[in-house]
Structure 1
Protein backbone atom coordinates (compact mmCIF):
# COMPACT_ATOMS: atom_id res chain seq x y z
CA UNK A 1 0.00 0.00 0.00
CA UNK A 2 2.83 2.32 0.87
CA UNK A 3 4.43 1.65 -2.54
CA UNK A 4 1.20 2.70 -4.26
CA UNK A 5 1.04 5.93 -2.25
CA UNK A 6 4.70 6.62 -3.07
CA UNK A 7 4.04 6.01 -6.77
CA UNK A 8 1.05 8.37 -6.69
CA UNK A 9 3.14 11.04 -4.97
CA UNK A 10 5.86 10.70 -7.62
CA UNK A 11 3.20 10.91 -10.31
CA UNK A 12 1.76 14.12 -8.78
CA UNK A 13 5.22 15.69 -8.46
CA UNK A 14 6.03 14.82 -12.07
CA UNK A 15 2.75 16.39 -13.16
CA UNK A 16 3.56 19.53 -11.15
CA UNK A 17 7.06 19.64 -12.65
CA UNK A 18 5.68 19.24 -16.16
CA UNK A 19 3.15 22.04 -15.56
CA UNK A 20 5.86 24.38 -14.23
CA UNK A 21 8.16 23.53 -17.15
CA UNK A 22 5.43 24.22 -19.68
CA UNK A 23 4.58 27.52 -17.94
CA UNK A 24 8.27 28.48 -18.02
CA UNK A 25 8.60 27.64 -21.73
CA UNK A 26 5.45 29.58 -22.55
CA UNK A 27 6.74 32.60 -20.62
CA UNK A 28 10.11 32.42 -22.42
CA UNK A 29 8.34 32.18 -25.79
CA UNK A 30 6.18 35.21 -24.99
CA UNK A 31 9.24 37.15 -23.83
CA UNK A 32 11.06 36.30 -27.07
CA UNK A 33 8.09 37.39 -29.18
CA UNK A 34 7.85 40.67 -27.27
CA UNK A 35 11.58 41.29 -27.63
CA UNK A 36 11.52 40.67 -31.39
CA UNK A 37 8.41 42.85 -31.73
CA UNK A 38 10.05 45.70 -29.83
CA UNK A 39 13.25 45.51 -31.86
CA UNK A 40 11.34 45.29 -35.15
CA UNK A 41 9.19 48.28 -34.23
CA UNK A 42 12.30 50.23 -33.24
CA UNK A 43 14.06 49.41 -36.52
CA UNK A 44 10.98 50.27 -38.60
CA UNK A 45 10.46 53.56 -36.76
CA UNK A 46 14.13 54.45 -37.31
CA UNK A 47 13.78 53.61 -41.00
CA UNK A 48 10.60 55.67 -41.38
CA UNK A 49 12.10 58.68 -39.60
CA UNK A 50 15.25 58.40 -41.76
CA UNK A 51 13.07 58.29 -44.90
CA UNK A 52 11.08 61.34 -43.80
CA UNK A 53 14.22 63.30 -42.93
CA UNK A 54 15.80 62.15 -46.20
CA UNK A 55 12.79 63.33 -48.20
CA UNK A 56 12.86 66.74 -46.50
CA UNK A 57 16.61 66.94 -47.06
CA UNK A 58 16.17 66.02 -50.72
CA UNK A 59 13.59 68.76 -51.20
CA UNK A 60 15.95 71.27 -49.59
CA UNK A 61 18.83 70.05 -51.75
CA UNK A 62 16.63 70.28 -54.84
CA UNK A 63 15.80 73.93 -54.22
CA UNK A 64 19.39 74.82 -53.31
CA UNK A 65 20.55 73.08 -56.50
CA UNK A 66 17.98 74.92 -58.60
CA UNK A 67 19.03 78.22 -57.05
CA UNK A 68 22.72 77.49 -57.59
CA UNK A 69 22.11 76.45 -61.20
CA UNK A 70 20.10 79.59 -61.83
CA UNK A 71 22.77 81.77 -60.22
CA UNK A 72 25.60 80.12 -62.19
CA UNK A 73 23.56 80.44 -65.38
CA UNK A 74 22.99 84.14 -64.80
CA UNK A 75 26.70 84.72 -64.10
CA UNK A 76 27.60 82.89 -67.33
CA UNK A 77 24.70 84.59 -69.15
CA UNK A 78 23.54 81.16 -70.24
CA UNK A 79 20.88 79.59 -68.01
CA UNK A 80 21.24 76.13 -69.55
CA UNK A 81 24.99 76.11 -68.85
CA UNK A 82 24.29 76.70 -65.15
CA UNK A 83 21.98 73.67 -65.02
CA UNK A 84 24.49 71.53 -66.92
CA UNK A 85 27.29 72.51 -64.52
CA UNK A 86 25.16 71.56 -61.50
CA UNK A 87 24.18 68.29 -63.23
CA UNK A 88 27.85 67.58 -63.93
CA UNK A 89 28.67 68.21 -60.26
CA UNK A 90 25.99 65.70 -59.19
CA UNK A 91 27.22 63.22 -61.77
CA UNK A 92 30.75 63.39 -60.33
CA UNK A 93 29.39 63.06 -56.78
CA UNK A 94 27.27 60.08 -57.91
CA UNK A 95 30.27 58.29 -59.45
CA UNK A 96 32.33 58.88 -56.29
CA UNK A 97 29.50 57.58 -54.08
CA UNK A 98 29.13 54.53 -56.31
CA UNK A 99 32.82 53.75 -55.95
CA UNK A 100 32.81 54.01 -52.13
CA UNK A 101 29.26 52.80 -51.46
CA UNK A 102 30.28 49.66 -49.58
CA UNK A 103 32.56 51.43 -47.12
CA UNK A 104 30.50 54.54 -46.46
CA UNK A 105 26.89 53.46 -47.06
CA UNK A 106 26.31 49.70 -46.99
CA UNK A 107 28.48 48.73 -44.01
CA UNK A 108 27.26 51.53 -41.68
CA UNK A 109 23.60 50.80 -42.51
CA UNK A 110 24.04 47.06 -41.89
CA UNK A 111 25.91 47.75 -38.64
CA UNK A 112 23.15 50.08 -37.46
CA UNK A 113 20.49 47.42 -38.00
CA UNK A 114 22.61 44.75 -36.31
CA UNK A 115 23.06 47.02 -33.29
CA UNK A 116 19.32 47.67 -33.16
CA UNK A 117 18.50 43.94 -33.19
CA UNK A 118 21.25 42.39 -31.09
CA UNK A 119 22.19 44.96 -28.49
CA UNK A 120 20.10 46.64 -25.84
CA UNK A 121 19.40 50.33 -26.42
Structure 2
Protein backbone atom coordinates (compact mmCIF):
# COMPACT_ATOMS: atom_id res chain seq x y z
CA UNK A 1 0.00 0.00 0.00
CA UNK A 2 2.81 2.41 0.82
CA UNK A 3 4.47 1.53 -2.47
CA UNK A 4 1.25 2.26 -4.37
CA UNK A 5 0.98 5.64 -2.64
CA UNK A 6 4.62 6.37 -3.39
CA UNK A 7 4.15 5.33 -7.03
CA UNK A 8 1.08 7.58 -7.31
CA UNK A 9 3.01 10.49 -5.80
CA UNK A 10 5.91 9.93 -8.19
CA UNK A 11 3.54 9.76 -11.14
CA UNK A 12 1.80 12.96 -10.02
CA UNK A 13 5.16 14.66 -9.48
CA UNK A 14 6.27 13.65 -12.97
CA UNK A 15 3.07 15.04 -14.50
CA UNK A 16 3.41 18.28 -12.53
CA UNK A 17 7.04 18.65 -13.61
CA UNK A 18 6.04 18.09 -17.23
CA UNK A 19 3.23 20.69 -16.91
CA UNK A 20 5.66 23.12 -15.32
CA UNK A 21 8.17 22.73 -18.16
CA UNK A 22 5.43 23.12 -20.77
CA UNK A 23 4.04 26.23 -19.07
CA UNK A 24 7.51 27.72 -18.69
CA UNK A 25 8.24 27.14 -22.37
CA UNK A 26 4.91 28.75 -23.31
CA UNK A 27 5.62 31.71 -21.04
CA UNK A 28 8.98 32.36 -22.66
CA UNK A 29 7.44 32.01 -26.13
CA UNK A 30 4.83 34.62 -25.24
CA UNK A 31 7.42 36.88 -23.68
CA UNK A 32 9.61 36.63 -26.79
CA UNK A 33 6.61 37.37 -28.99
CA UNK A 34 5.68 40.40 -26.87
CA UNK A 35 9.22 41.79 -26.96
CA UNK A 36 9.64 41.19 -30.68
CA UNK A 37 6.28 42.84 -31.44
CA UNK A 38 7.18 45.87 -29.33
CA UNK A 39 10.46 46.10 -31.22
CA UNK A 40 8.83 45.62 -34.63
CA UNK A 41 6.13 48.22 -34.04
CA UNK A 42 8.71 50.67 -32.75
CA UNK A 43 10.88 50.13 -35.83
CA UNK A 44 7.93 50.56 -38.20
CA UNK A 45 6.89 53.72 -36.37
CA UNK A 46 10.44 55.08 -36.53
CA UNK A 47 10.72 54.26 -40.25
CA UNK A 48 7.41 55.96 -41.05
CA UNK A 49 8.31 59.08 -39.11
CA UNK A 50 11.79 59.15 -40.62
CA UNK A 51 10.38 58.78 -44.13
CA UNK A 52 7.92 61.61 -43.60
CA UNK A 53 10.70 63.74 -42.09
CA UNK A 54 12.94 63.07 -45.09
CA UNK A 55 10.19 64.18 -47.48
CA UNK A 56 9.73 67.42 -45.53
CA UNK A 57 13.49 67.96 -45.43
CA UNK A 58 13.81 67.31 -49.16
CA UNK A 59 11.11 69.82 -50.09
CA UNK A 60 12.51 72.44 -47.71
CA UNK A 61 15.99 71.87 -49.12
CA UNK A 62 14.82 72.30 -52.71
CA UNK A 63 12.91 75.43 -51.73
CA UNK A 64 15.93 76.89 -49.91
CA UNK A 65 18.21 76.06 -52.83
CA UNK A 66 15.82 77.77 -55.25
CA UNK A 67 15.60 80.87 -53.03
CA UNK A 68 19.39 81.08 -52.67
CA UNK A 69 19.88 80.36 -56.38
CA UNK A 70 17.32 83.01 -57.34
CA UNK A 71 19.03 85.59 -55.12
CA UNK A 72 22.40 84.76 -56.68
CA UNK A 73 20.90 84.43 -60.19
CA UNK A 74 22.52 80.99 -60.42
CA UNK A 75 20.31 78.08 -59.36
CA UNK A 76 23.15 75.55 -59.45
CA UNK A 77 25.05 77.61 -56.88
CA UNK A 78 22.01 77.51 -54.58
CA UNK A 79 21.93 73.72 -54.72
CA UNK A 80 25.68 73.49 -54.09
CA UNK A 81 25.39 75.81 -51.09
CA UNK A 82 22.56 73.72 -49.57
CA UNK A 83 24.58 70.55 -50.26
CA UNK A 84 27.59 72.13 -48.54
CA UNK A 85 25.49 72.97 -45.51
CA UNK A 86 24.40 69.34 -45.28
CA UNK A 87 28.01 68.17 -45.69
CA UNK A 88 29.10 70.37 -42.76
CA UNK A 89 26.22 69.07 -40.59
CA UNK A 90 27.16 65.48 -41.53
CA UNK A 91 30.82 66.01 -40.56
CA UNK A 92 29.83 67.60 -37.24
CA UNK A 93 27.52 64.67 -36.45
CA UNK A 94 30.20 62.19 -37.48
CA UNK A 95 32.81 63.80 -35.25
CA UNK A 96 30.85 64.77 -32.17
CA UNK A 97 27.43 63.13 -31.92
CA UNK A 98 28.14 59.52 -32.89
CA UNK A 99 28.46 58.25 -29.29
CA UNK A 100 25.37 60.15 -28.15
CA UNK A 101 23.29 58.65 -30.96
CA UNK A 102 24.52 55.12 -30.24
CA UNK A 103 23.82 55.46 -26.51
CA UNK A 104 20.34 56.88 -27.06
CA UNK A 105 19.46 54.09 -29.52
CA UNK A 106 20.76 51.42 -27.14
CA UNK A 107 18.79 52.94 -24.27
CA UNK A 108 15.61 53.18 -26.36
CA UNK A 109 15.74 49.60 -27.62
CA UNK A 110 16.76 48.15 -24.26
CA UNK A 111 13.73 49.96 -22.82
CA UNK A 112 11.54 48.31 -25.44
CA UNK A 113 12.88 44.84 -24.75
CA UNK A 114 12.74 45.19 -20.97
CA UNK A 115 9.67 43.56 -19.56
CA UNK A 116 7.66 44.49 -16.50
CA UNK A 117 8.69 41.10 -15.11
CA UNK A 118 12.31 42.28 -15.12
CA UNK A 119 11.58 44.95 -12.50
CA UNK A 120 12.52 44.44 -8.89
CA UNK A 121 9.68 44.61 -6.34
CA UNK A 122 10.78 48.12 -5.35
CA UNK A 123 10.76 49.27 -9.00
CA UNK A 124 7.30 47.69 -9.49
CA UNK A 125 5.93 49.64 -6.52
CA UNK A 126 7.47 52.86 -7.84
CA UNK A 127 6.03 52.20 -11.31
CA UNK A 128 2.59 51.54 -9.81
CA UNK A 129 2.75 54.79 -7.83
CA UNK A 130 3.71 56.71 -10.98
CA UNK A 131 0.85 55.12 -12.93
CA UNK A 132 -1.63 55.87 -10.16
CA UNK A 133 -0.55 59.52 -9.90
CA UNK A 134 -0.84 59.90 -13.70
CA UNK A 135 -4.34 58.40 -13.59
CA UNK A 136 -5.32 60.79 -10.77
CA UNK A 137 -4.03 63.76 -12.77
CA UNK A 138 -5.96 62.62 -15.83
CA UNK A 139 -9.16 62.23 -13.80
CA UNK A 140 -8.76 65.72 -12.32
CA UNK A 141 -8.32 67.32 -15.74
TM-score between both structures, scaled by the size of structure 2: 0.78
Q: Give the secondary-structure state (helix, strand or coil) at the position aligned to 1:83.
A: helix
Are 1:28 and 2:28 matched, yes or no?
Answer: no
- Aligned residue in 2 for 1:81: 77
In structure 1, list runs of 5 or more residues that go unmatched: none
- Give the aligned CA root-mean-square deviation in angstroms: 1.1
List aligned pairs for 1:1-121, cutoff 5 A: 5-120=1-116
List 4+ stretches of structure 1 deviating above 6 A.
none
State the shift of 1:82 in Å: 0.7
Flag the structure with larger Rg.
Answer: 1
Aligned length: 116
Q: Give the secondary-structure state (helix, strand or coil) at the position aligned to 1:100.
A: helix
State the shift of 1:101 in Å: 4.2
Q: Distance in 1 between matches of 2:50 and 2:100?
A: 17
Q: Distance in 2 between matches of 1:67 and 1:119?
A: 45
